[in-house]
Amino acid sequence: MYQTNYHRPSSIQEAVKLMSGAAEGKYLAGGMTLIATMKQRLAAASDLVDLRHIAEMKGITVNGRSVRIGAATTHHEVESSAELKAVCPAVCALASHIGDPHVRHMGTIGGSIANNDPAADYPAAMLALDAKIVTNSREIAAADFFTGLFETALHDGEIITAIAFDAPARAAYQKFPNPASRYAMAGVFVARRDNGDVRVAVTGAGSNGVFRHQGMEAALAGNWSPDAVGNVSVDASDLLTDLHASAAYRANLIKVMTKRAVAAA
């Protein structure tokens, strides 16, 4: 790892100020991706601004069906929140399958979303839940937030402070993990609202990152059952091909994961 300078602010304002004074600074949340990347010298942050000690960025608030999760909330805290489980157990279940217990004790929802790894789980949930990504300066709809592989709408120095969404009537997430890395080779989050609105968001498979599948959504809006997606075609031309799976294989996985998610919802 290259040399770096560590900072520990206790407020969002202090964090923004520290970042504005840094040459090539990076915000550090749980560090479960960033530290590993820095160790490999694939990232070289001149300064690290630690967000783990900012009280206003932590915790889960559920008000009726409206959910707000502080960006510095760990996967473990999301997984074990009884309040969240009561209104949207799908998000708890998703968090419980990220990495391993030790990674879940450190990794945060804000860090995962800001990183926008094309195989990360949370981006699919954000898109399917029509979540708002709350930052220190604005609110960004999930649909506008994830802009490409590891790319987001965040400006330099902007901090995700929370995410917010209304819990849908039914939801579930299913992924096919890579047997070695356990990252999703295809992960599908389905959500259905009382008004019949259905969203199907896919991670791990798109060559431009997380995306919604309109064909699946239309089929499931007409008939909310695993059988409904049987005849939906999944275009493989925009899907990833790598040593783990071809685009055609991933196209099939998307269908299978969607069926399993609808069955589980």
Task: Give contact residues for other proteins (rule: CB under 8 A).
Answer: 1-6, 8, 28, 31-32, 35-36, 38-39, 48, 50, 52, 76, 99-103, 105-106, 182
Q: Give the residue among 205, 261, 203, 204 at the shortest CA–CA distance from 229.
A: 261
Q: Rounded to 5 degrees, what are φ and ψ at 103?
A: -65, -40
Between residues 18 and 239, which has the closer beta carbon with respect to other proteins? Answer: 18
Q: Which tokens is 101 given?
A: 């217990």
CB of 123 to other proteins, least distance (A): 21
CB of 151 to other proteins, least distance (A): 24
Separation of alpha carbons 204 and 14, rounded Å: 35
**Closer residue to other proteins (CB): 37 or 208:** 37
- 1 neighbors 28 (Cβ within 8 angstroms): no
**185 neighbors 206 (Cβ within 8 angstroms):** no
Q: Please, what is the minimum distance in Å from the beta carbon of residue 84 to other proteins?
A: 17
Nearer to other proteins, 99 or 168 (CB): 99
Q: How far is CA 226 from CA 89, 146, 189, 201, 219, in A?
A: 19, 28, 13, 16, 10
Tokens of 26: 């990076």
Shorter beta-carbon distance to other proteins: residue 6 or 137: 6
Q: Please, what is the minimum distance in Å from the beta carbon of residue 15 to other proteins?
A: 15
Smallest separation, CB 36 to other proteins (Å): 6
Here the tokens at position 84 are 């969240």
33 vs 203 by CB, closer to other proteins: 33
